[in-house]
């Protein structure tokens, strides 16, 4: 196959050469003339802060400079005469002004920029050699700048994206400090492969998979958490296949590009920030009102009804554990604590026009709400820029971080802390001493090193080449230890799961920009990439340590075992793209990418992904109303893909042990030599623009995706020996949705500024064809992927009439497995609803008073999905779930006279998962921050000192949920969580720690 | 045009650089060798023979404990004390096709691996002395015993009736087909074991044939085979603490968690426990968790498999004596039947039983088989065949038919009859088009 790949490239080289020759032939020469200089200062219109790193350029030339640490730029060699100067800053409006430049003179031109949500002249990255203006691209891109998050108390990339990137659904499991979120862009487009977007940091592709660990934790970690938000200059979210074609195979789940801060010219500029705060968890239990709780009649007695009220009011034995857990309950009567949180950041940037640097360091320590849970983290970054000649720009970026996390057992396991606390004496701990569980030690240390060199060479105007070479190295060591004397394993045990990943990026791209006539510009791009990923996993386990105090290394155990996993993947591809701009108003783009991948079948060959897009600035026409500043219409269609797994194409056998430790073999994968990537085709159409002098901006996109040749795990005939599923290219998955973003500056006065923002996105997915398969995603939560339904969804034998009363009221549809009753009316019978959020929105506001006081708030909502409350289902039978206290005893005794079918079903000894499926719509106030910038005269040696206080996750509204927290769910990224090994995420509540609240005080000083 | 050519010449050094870059990408060796997977061709070598047969043993053990775990909960072997969804259903006598994918697939894999392995040993491996080889005998034994498990435990045997080994075009067959297939394969095991001089394999094969004959109701031949197996003989499925796959699932589900309990079962009526069915009364001894994983059921922990490496008997001489006892009772030979039962009791140093009527003798036989084969995955077949016969051959005999009180919340009141066999799995019904619309997949 790879020889075929090489031959294929070889066949296309003449085409490439010809195209290059054509492009080269259209270049225009430069000319020499008298010059002067332009100097200016760039400031924020609302706060008055000087803006660092702003790009200033002479319009129509490549002459540009960046503002230094004092917000000042200086352009050299500016042609004498009337010159138009444009400044561009991420997250700010572009501004162009004219200045008269005298020969050998210095002209002054200052700029005041306003934060905007959309700026059509801002520069974005599309996979080609250089940045392009937003106006030129036909697809939607979400951009989040440092200015957007400078006030908010964000601690990780997922917090940056939550509520800010339209079309991105960030599903969290933040109950424990250190837990990562699942990020999805435009829904679930693959049922078997990962739906996690690709993540690039300064051009280096990360391994964005979740590190493995045991299911004791109930949370997991992701490498994207290692990126310090304070280092982020901007984040670009490229959402669908229409935009990610040039990124090739693996990119159909979207791409997140992170750009970190770079050095600037000028004296060293220091920035220091310190955060101190507390993390708290209030009421832990179902938040239900009197309308849900049983009456005395329903509970069977006033006492039991009162008990239900008490449980609902005081929570389920974490807030107050004295009654439930007299032995293990801490002396203050609560298992919960106020976790201390502290974070320190220090950075410096400076340099000259030729060399610059940005160096930062951070240290963070956070305690979870239950001891000893917590995380300590430190990291350093060094970004260095060299510009030995004007045409060559070399940047070397490196970061290293280290985290130590202490977990507590959580979620779906017999030693989960919430599980045992909620179940009182009917849990697994002896004498209901739940504190014994906390003797288990679950530790994880994570090291992450990212380094890369970005080289940009512009030997002649319009001819740009870029070469990125980078390394992403990650190591996670997870250890799980039950000490000697631990109640479930008296002799103790210990597990070590070490995972190491190395990703190499080699990414070359070139662009030739040529003017084909007075009003036509050609932009021809080409490039090739090679990515190599190596993962190594070593798992060792030992038990029976013999004595207390004995050495606890695994090799000291009486019984040991080990396992090793080694996976190497290599992919490579190349692309060509041509963009034609007409009158700087209409932009047409066509491109194609070919990819090879080490996991494709022998007979497959290369995968081809074409793309086409168009954007049109209708507002550049003379008839356009003046008050409507800009409007871009855009449309794009493109293909991207996902590769199958390492051995999916090959017929294999597994090495196993048998006969007490002898080597054996067993069938593994049936194999399919024709196996190739699944391909996602996406069409999108939309518009974006600004009005009223930039005071209002909007963006709208409709997209329709179709994943064809979708990889589906096809059940093999078990009686023919190979029992595992074989991936085959047989499926079709559809996703479509709308994305809307609005931003309004309601008040823009010198001493009062008020911005409002709204971002909304929805997604409707449909498993149109699965080759006849049903994919069970989480059998114990009624979550499947089935043809004709959202991906994934909840299925089960629903009650026909939940309101029926009395004996015999329970009447169910049959279990919906190709049964006629289900097929005839799935909504009424066995289908509850989608399991992943269908819609999400973010509402933000920022109020600035007197340029010093800022109130910033962000709320986020998600919904349209259903979650099975496994927590309730399992706690009911322990007689402590408030909704069923008393009712369950009556159901058990057969005394159901005045109970509805729903009550009887919910409060049965073994309710079905579908009975406890609940609508999971929620709104959460992500943060509210009040900040104050101290007057400069108070501490004149500082450029800026800002103090702030923030509250995170202050309140939650989830009216229909009736569980703990719709965001506290089983982590779908745990290895092996999916019943079918599929890549589909799912939401399932099972004794997961709710999201705590944070109160954080912060001081930031720039000097 | 002239200007174009001039610029090409001026920057013509760039073109080779550019082309070199593209070629560097295209010329990379993308071939990746990932360790860990064994290819089909790797097995057709003489060096692979031991691993192939060990794989048969491992796959057999892998499914045997799982099947026993299902049957223990679905029969009257044990009470459910756990929180698995399936445990709740099994205790209610409901075994659904969608809940038994893993068990079905494991059993079918064990059967196919052994049968196809025999074909591979015979046809594909150059230099392997097939006949008279102990490994060949062992392969036949696993193939035969797997078919015996299918015949006893499942409602249908799904095999290729036309292919004696491995197969293709598998169809739903009655259980008798699985038993007959077991007999044929075990006869080959007898032949090969005899030729190889391996008495253990020989007796295991004969005992397996006796079991298969019981399944077919051929008591004459069952007794003939059973008589050749001494009372103290035991052939076991091998478990080990060497690796997770080799662990005994019955131990894991009862000693690592508390999914099923002997509380309120026939076994629990023995205090102290019968030596064939040892248990710990946890609430009494306080040496283990007092309640099951459901938080309600008193936890009486099985001790027949006290560690994760405890083997599970597959063929044993004590069962052979009970086969002989049952054959005697079927011939109305009460004394002969009781004598055979008491041979077993003598072996376990238990007092003799007496019976004055045939009904008493049958109840004793029921109890003796219950105790002797406890947690070995055999109980459901006894309940099934006796229940079937209860309607014909053996009227009036009251057995412990597994008719435990239903759990307190019967999800589907329309289901009144307890499952007496494990249905064909949902995965087989979904993937095997030969079964579409057949009674095996209703």
- Asked if A572 lies within 8 A of B33 by C-beta distance, the reply is no
pLDDT of residue A248: 78
Helix (H) or strand (E) holding A131: strand A131-133
On whether the CB atoms of residues A212 and A498 are closer than 8 A, the answer is no
Partners of A92 in beta bridges: A115
Closest alpha carbon within chain A to B147: A719
Per residue in A679-690, pLDDT (tens digit) is 999 999 999 999
Distance from C-alpha of A729 to C-alpha of A995, rounded to nearest angstrom: 39
Min Cα separation A531/chain B (Å): 10
Nearest CA in chain B to A890: B408
Report whether pLDDT(A28) > 70: no
**Contact at CB, B40 and A651, closer than 8 angstroms:** yes
A546 touches B at CB < 8 Å: no
- Say which residue the tokens 């039947």 belong to: B337
Interface test with A, best of B13, B120, B297, B409 (most A CBs within 10 A): B409
For B33, which residue in chain A has the nearest alpha carbon?
A: A568
Question: Quick one: closest CA in A to B172, which residue?
Answer: A719
List pLDDT tens digits, range A286-313. 988 888 899 999 999 999 999 999 999 8
Average pLDDT over residues A753-760: 95
Q: Which residue in the set A657, A667, A716 is minimally distant from B242, CB to CB?
A: A657
Helix (H, G, I), strand (E, B) or coil at B16: helix
| Contact yes or no for B432 and A717 at CB 8 A | yes
A225: three-class secondary structure by DSSP: helix
* Of A799, A892, A906, the residue nearest A286 (C-alpha): A906
Whether residue B309 and residue A20 make contact (CB cut-off 8 A), yes or no, is no
d(CA A492, CA A481): 7
Nearest neighbour of B19 by CB, restricted to A13, A488, A659: A13
Q: Which residues of B touch A658 (CB under 8 A)?
A: 54-55, 57-59, 61, 238, 245-246
Give the whole-angstrom CA distance, residue A992 versus residue A985: 16
For A65, A75, A462, A610, B348, the CA distances from A393, given in Å and listed in that order, are 13, 17, 15, 31, 87
Are B26 and A528 in contact (CB < 8 Å)? yes
pLDDT in 10s for each residue of chain B, 442 residues: 444 444 444 444 545 555 555 555 555 555 666 666 788 889 999 999 999 999 999 999 999 999 999 999 988 899 989 888 788 888 877 888 888 989 999 999 999 999 999 999 999 999 999 999 999 999 999 999 999 999 999 999 888 877 777 777 888 889 999 999 999 999 999 999 999 999 999 999 999 999 999 999 999 999 999 999 999 999 999 999 888 899 999 999 999 889 999 998 889 999 999 999 999 999 999 888 888 888 788 999 999 999 999 999 999 999 999 999 999 999 999 999 999 999 999 999 999 999 999 989 998 999 999 999 999 999 999 988 887 655 444 444 444 434 443 333 333 444 345 788 999 998 898 888 888 888 888 7
Nearest to A721 among B48, B113, B158 (CB): B113
**pLDDT above 70 for A780:** no
Which structure tokens are listed for B107?
A: 């059993």
How is residue B1 written in tokens? 């045009």
Chain A CB contacts of B105 under 8 Å are 718, 723
Rounded CA separation B239/B244 (Å): 10
For chains A and B, CB pairs below 8 A equal 269
Q: Are B344 and B318 in contact (CB under 8 A)?
A: yes
Q: Do residues A955 and A165 touch, judged by C-beta distance below 8 A? A: no
- Chain A residues with beta carbon closer than 8 angstroms to that of B238: 658-660
CB atoms closer than 10 angstroms to residue B88 = 19
Closest CB to B39: pick one of A5, A650, A662.
Answer: A650
Name the β-bridge partners of A554: none
Assembly ipTM:
0.89
Per-residue model confidence as pLDDT tens digits over B135-177: 999 999 999 999 999 999 999 988 887 777 777 788 888 999 9
Which of chain A's residues have a Cβ under 8 Å away from the Cβ of B54?
657-659, 662-665
Q: What's the predicted TM-score (pTM) here? A: 0.85
For tokens 């995420």, name the residue: A985
Cα radius of gyration rounded to whole Å, chain B: 28
Q: Inspect the interface and report whether the beta carbons of B37 and A659 lie closer than 8 Å.
A: no
Q: Which residue among A574, A664, A723 sits closest to B58, beta carbon to beta carbon? A: A664
Contact A878 B50 (CB under 8 A): no
A539 and chain B in contact, CB less than 8 A? no
State whether A718 and B431 contact (CB < 8 Å). yes
Contact B106 A723 (CB under 8 A): yes
- DSSP assignment of B253-279, as one string? IIIIS--EE-TTSSGGG-SSPPTTS-E
Residues of B in contact with A530 (CB under 8 A): 25, 28
**For residue range A623-672, what is the model confidence (pLDDT) as tens digits?**
999 999 999 999 999 999 888 887 888 889 999 999 998 999 999 988 88
Specify the pLDDT at position A431: 79
Confidence of residue A26 (pLDDT cuts 50, 70, 90): very low
Is A665 near chain B, with CB under 8 Å? yes
Name, in order, each residue with C-beta under 8 angstroms of A823's C-beta and a sequence gap of 6 or more: none
Q: Is the pLDDT of residue A21 over 60?
A: no
Going from the C-alpha of A619 to that of each of A46, A142, A315, A580, A630, the distances in angstroms are 27, 21, 58, 19, 5
* pLDDT at res. B27: 53
Contact A10 B26 (CB under 8 A): yes
Highest mean pLDDT, choosing among A61-65, A344-348, A600-604, A906-910: A344-348
Separation of alpha carbons A376 and A136, rounded Å = 44
Chain A residues near residue B118 by CB distance under 8 angstroms: none
Which tokens go with B433? Answer: 């088009």
Interface of A with B in 777-796 (CB under 8 A): 779-780
Beta-carbon separation of B36 and A565 below 8 A: yes
Give, in order, the Cα–Cα distances in Å from A756 to each of A158, A346, A503, A842.
22, 31, 41, 11
Can you tell me the mean pLDDT for A754-767?
95
Instruction: Give the closest-approach CA distance of A746 to chain B in angstroms.
Output: 52
Query: Strands, E, within A164-265: which ranges?
Result: 168-171, 182-185, 198-201, 204-205, 232-238, 255-260
CB contact under 8 A, A815 and B96: yes
CA separation (Å) from B281 to B263, B269, B291, B301, B350? 8, 12, 10, 7, 21
Q: Which of A3, A531, A658, A798 to mutate to test the interface with B (most CBs of B within 10 A)?
A: A658
Query: CA-CA distance, A746 to A46, in Å (whole number)?
Result: 13
Q: Which of B10, B16, B21, B24 to mutate to probe the A interface, most A CBs <10 Å?
A: B21
Which among B323, B374, B277 has a CA at the least distance from the CA of B71? B374
pLDDT given for residue B424 in this prediction: 93
Cβ neighbours of residue B419 closer than 8 Å, sequence gap 6 or more: B74, B93, B94, B95
Nearest CA in chain A to B236: A659
Output the six-digit token pair for A389. 């000649």
Would you tell me which residues 324-353 of chain A have a C-beta closer than 8 angstroms to some C-beta of chain B? none
- Closest CB from B3, B88, B242 relative to A660: B242
SS3 assignment, position A652? strand
Contact B242 A561 (CB under 8 A): yes
Name the residue in chain A with its Cα closest to that of B429.
A717
Residues of B in contact with A596 (CB under 8 A): 30
> Looking at CA atoms only, how far is residue A904 from chain B in angstroms?
10
DSSP H helices in A145-264: 146-149, 157-161, 241-244
- For residue A822, the surrounding DSSP H or E stretch is helix A820-824
**Are the beta carbons of B25 and A508 separated by less than 8 Å?**
yes
Query: Exposed, middle or buried by CB within 10 Å (0-12, 13-18, 19+), for A813?
Result: buried
pLDDT digits (tens, 9 = 90+) for A799-848: 889 999 988 888 887 654 445 566 667 777 788 999 999 999 999 999 99
Q: Look at residues A499, A391, A385, A509 and name the one whose alpha carbon lies nearest to residue A452.
A: A385
Hey, is the C-beta of A528 within 8 angstroms of any chain B C-beta?
yes
> How many CA atoms does the CB half-sphere of A937 hold within 13 Å?
0
Lowest mean pLDDT among A530-534, A643-647, A790-794, A902-906: A643-647
């Amino acid at each position: 196959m790879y020889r075929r790949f090489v031959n294929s490239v070889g066949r296309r080289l003449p085409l490439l050469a010809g195209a290059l020759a054509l492009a080269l032939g259209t270049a225009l020469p430069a000319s020499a003339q008298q010059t002067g200089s332009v100097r200016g200062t760039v400031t924020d219109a609302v706060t008055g802060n000087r803006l660092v790193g702003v790009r200033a350029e002479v319009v129509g030339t490549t002459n540009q400079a960046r503002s230094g640490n004092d917000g000042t730029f200086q352009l050299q060699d500016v042609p004498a005469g009337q010159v138009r100067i444009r400044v561009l800053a991420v997250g700010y409006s572009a501004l162009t002004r004219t200045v008269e430049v005298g020969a050998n003179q210095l002209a002054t031109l200052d700029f005041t920029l306003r934060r905007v949500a959309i700026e059509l002249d801002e520069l974005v990255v599309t996979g080609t050699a250089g940045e392009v203006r937003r106006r030129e691209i036909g697809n939607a891109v979400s951009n989040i700048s440092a200015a957007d998050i400078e006030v908010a108390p964000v601690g990780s990339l997922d917090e940056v994206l939550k509520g800010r990137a339209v079309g991105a659904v960030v599903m969290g499991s933040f109950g424990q400090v250190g837990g990562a979120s699942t990020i999805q862009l435009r829904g679930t487009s693959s049922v078997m492969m990962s739906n996690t977007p690709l993540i690039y940091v300064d051009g280096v592709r990360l391994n964005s998979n979740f590190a493995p660990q045991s299911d004791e934790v109930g949370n997991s970690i992701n490498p994207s958490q290692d990126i310090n938000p304070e280092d982020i200059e901007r984040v670009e979210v490229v959402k669908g296949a229409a935009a990610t074609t040039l990124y090739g195979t693996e990119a159909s789940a979207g791409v997140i590009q992170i750009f970190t801060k770079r050095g600037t010219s000028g004296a060293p500029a220091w920035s220091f920030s310190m955060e101190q705060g507390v993390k708290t968890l209030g009421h832990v239990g179902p938040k239900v009102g009197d309308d849900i709780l049983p009456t005395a009649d329903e509970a069977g007695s006033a006492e039991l009804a009162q008990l239900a009220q008490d449980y609902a009011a005081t929570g389920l034995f974490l807030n107050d554990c004295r009654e439930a857990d007299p032995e293990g309950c801490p002396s203050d009567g609560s298992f919960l604590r106020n976790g201390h949180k502290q974070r320190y950041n220090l950075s410096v940037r400076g340099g000259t026009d030729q060399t610059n640097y940005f160096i930062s360091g951070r240290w963070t320590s956070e305690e979870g709400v239950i001891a000893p849970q917590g995380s300590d983290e430190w990291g350093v970054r060094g970004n260095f820029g060299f510009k030995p000649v004007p045409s060559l720009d070399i940047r070397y970026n490196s970061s290293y971080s280290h985290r130590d996390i202490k977990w507590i057992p959580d979620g779906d396991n017999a030693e989960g802390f919430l599980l045992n606390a909620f179940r009182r004496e009917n849990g697994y701990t002896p004498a209901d001493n739940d504190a014994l569980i906390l003797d288990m030690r679950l530790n994880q240390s994570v090291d992450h090193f990212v380094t890369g060199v970005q080289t940009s060479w512009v030997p002649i105007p319009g001819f740009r080449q870029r070469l990125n070479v980078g390394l992403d190295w990650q190591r996670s060591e997870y250890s799980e230890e039950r000490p000697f004397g631990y109640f479930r394993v008296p002799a103790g045990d210990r597990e070590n799961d070490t995972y190491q990943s190395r990703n190499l990026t080699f990414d070359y791209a070139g662009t030739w920009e040529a003017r084909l006539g007075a009003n036509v510009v050609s932009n021809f791009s080409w490039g090739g990439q090679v990515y190599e990923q190596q993962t190594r996993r070593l798992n060792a386990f030992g038990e029976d340590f013999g004595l207390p105090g004995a050495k606890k290394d695994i090799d000291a155990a009486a019984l040991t075992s080990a396992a090793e996993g080694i996976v190497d993947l290599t992919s490579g591809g190349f692309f060509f793209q041509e963009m034609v701009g007409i009158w700087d108003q209409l932009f047409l783009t066509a491109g194609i990418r070919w990819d090879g991948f080490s996991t494709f079948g022998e007979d497959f060959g290369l995968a081809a992904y074409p793309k086409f897009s168009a954007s049109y600035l209708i507002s550049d026409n003379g008839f356009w109303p003046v008050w409507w500043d800009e409007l871009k219409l855009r449309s794009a269609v493109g293909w991207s893909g996902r590769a199958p797994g390492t051995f999916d194409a090959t017929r294999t056998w597994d090495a196993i042990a048998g006969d007490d430790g002898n080597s054996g073999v067993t069938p593994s994968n049936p194999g399919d030599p024709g196996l190739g990537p699944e391909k996602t085709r996406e069409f999108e159409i939309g518009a974006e623009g600004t009005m009223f002098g930039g005071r209002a901006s909007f963006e709208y996109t409709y997209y329709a995706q179709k994943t064809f040749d979708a990889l589906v795990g096809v059940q093999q005939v078990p009686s023919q020996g190979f029992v595992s599923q074989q991936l085959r290219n047989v499926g079709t998955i559809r996703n479509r949705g709308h994305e809307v973003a609005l931003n309004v500056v309601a008040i823009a006065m010198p001493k009062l500024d008020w911005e409002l923002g709204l971002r909304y996105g929805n997604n409707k997915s449909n498993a149109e064809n699965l080759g006849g398969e049903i994919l069970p995603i989480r059998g114990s939560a009624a979550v499947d992927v089935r043809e004709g339904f959202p991906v994934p969804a909840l299925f089960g034998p629903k009650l026909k009439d939940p309101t029926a009363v009395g004996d015999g009221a329970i009447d169910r549809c049959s279990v919906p497995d190709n049964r006629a009753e289900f097929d005839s009316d799935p909504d009424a019978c066995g289908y509850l609803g989608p399991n992943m959020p269908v819609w999400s929105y973010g509402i933000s506001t920022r109020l600035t008073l007197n340029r010093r006081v800022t109130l910033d708030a962000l709320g986020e909502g998600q919904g349209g999905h259903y979650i099975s409350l496994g927590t309730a289902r399992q706690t009911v039978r322990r007689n402590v779930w408030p909704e069923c206290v008393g009712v369950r005893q009556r159901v058990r005794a057969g005394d159901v006279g005045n109970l509805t079918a729903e009550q009887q079903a919910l409060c049965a000894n073994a309710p079905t998962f579908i009975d406890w499926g609940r609508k999971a719509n929620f709104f959460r106030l992500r943060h509210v921050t009040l900040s104050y910038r101290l007057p400069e005269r108070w501490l004149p040696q500082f450029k800026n000192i800002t103090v702030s206080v923030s509250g995170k996750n202050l309140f939650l509204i989830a009216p229909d949920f009736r569980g703990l927290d719709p965001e506290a769910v089983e982590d779908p990224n745990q290895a092996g969580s999916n019943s079918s090994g599929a890549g589909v995420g799912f939401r399932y509540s099972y004794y997961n720690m709710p999201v705590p609240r944070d109160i954080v005080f912060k001081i930031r000083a720039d000097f | 045009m002239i200007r174009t050519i001039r610029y090409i010449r001026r920057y013509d050094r760039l073109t080779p650089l550019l082309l070199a870059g593209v070629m560097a990408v295209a010329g990379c060796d993308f071939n990746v060798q990932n360790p860990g997977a064994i290819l089909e061709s790797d097995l057709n070598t003489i060096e692979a023979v031991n691993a192939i047969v060990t794989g048969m043993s491992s796959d057999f053990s892998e499914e045997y404990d799982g099947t026993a775990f299902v049957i223990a909960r679905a029969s009257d072997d044990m009470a459910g004390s756990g929180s698995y969804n399936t445990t709740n259903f099994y205790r209610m006598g409901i075994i659904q096709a969608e809940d038994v994918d893993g068990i079905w697939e494991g059993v079918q894999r064990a059967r196919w691996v052994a049968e196809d392995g025999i074909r591979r040993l015979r046809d594909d491996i150059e230099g392997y002395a097939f006949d008279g080889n102990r490994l060949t005998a062992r392969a036949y034994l696993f193939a035969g015993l797997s078919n015996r498990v299918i015949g006893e435990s499942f409602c249908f045997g799904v095999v290729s009736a036309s292919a004696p080994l491995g197969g293709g075009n598998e169809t739903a067959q009655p259980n008798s087909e699985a038993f007959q297939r077991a007999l044929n394969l075990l006869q080959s095991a007898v032949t090969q074991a005899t030729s190889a001089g391996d008495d253990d394999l020989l007796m295991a094969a004969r005992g397996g044939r006796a079991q298969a004959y019981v399944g077919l109701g051929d008591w004459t031949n069952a007794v003939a085979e059973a008589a050749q197996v001494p009372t103290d003989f035991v052939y076991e499925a091998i478990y080990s603490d060497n690796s997770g796959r080799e662990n005994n699932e019955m131990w894991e589900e009862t000693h690592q968690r508390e999914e099923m309990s002997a509380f309120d079962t026939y076994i629990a009526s023995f205090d102290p426990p019968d030596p064939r069915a040892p248990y710990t009364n946890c609430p009494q001894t306080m040496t283990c968790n007092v309640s099951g994983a459901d938080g309600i059921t008193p936890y009486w922990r099985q001790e027949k498999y006290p560690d994760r490496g405890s083997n599970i008997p597959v063929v044993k001489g004590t069962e052979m004596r009970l086969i002989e006892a049952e054959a005697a009772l079927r011939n109305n030979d009460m004394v002969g039947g009781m004598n055979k039962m008491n041979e077993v009791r003598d072996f376990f140093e238990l007092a003799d039983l007496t019976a004055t009527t045939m009904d008493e003798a049958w109840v004793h036989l029921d109890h003796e088989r219950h105790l002797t084969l406890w947690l070995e995955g055999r109980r459901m077949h006894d309940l099934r065949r006796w229940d079937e016969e209860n309607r014909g051959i053996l009227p009036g005999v009251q057995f412990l038919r597994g008719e435990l009180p239903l759990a307190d919340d019967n999800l589907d009141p329309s289901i009144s009859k307890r499952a007496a066999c494990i249905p064909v799995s949902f995965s087989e019904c979904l993937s095997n088009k030969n079964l579409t619309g057949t009674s095996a997949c209703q």
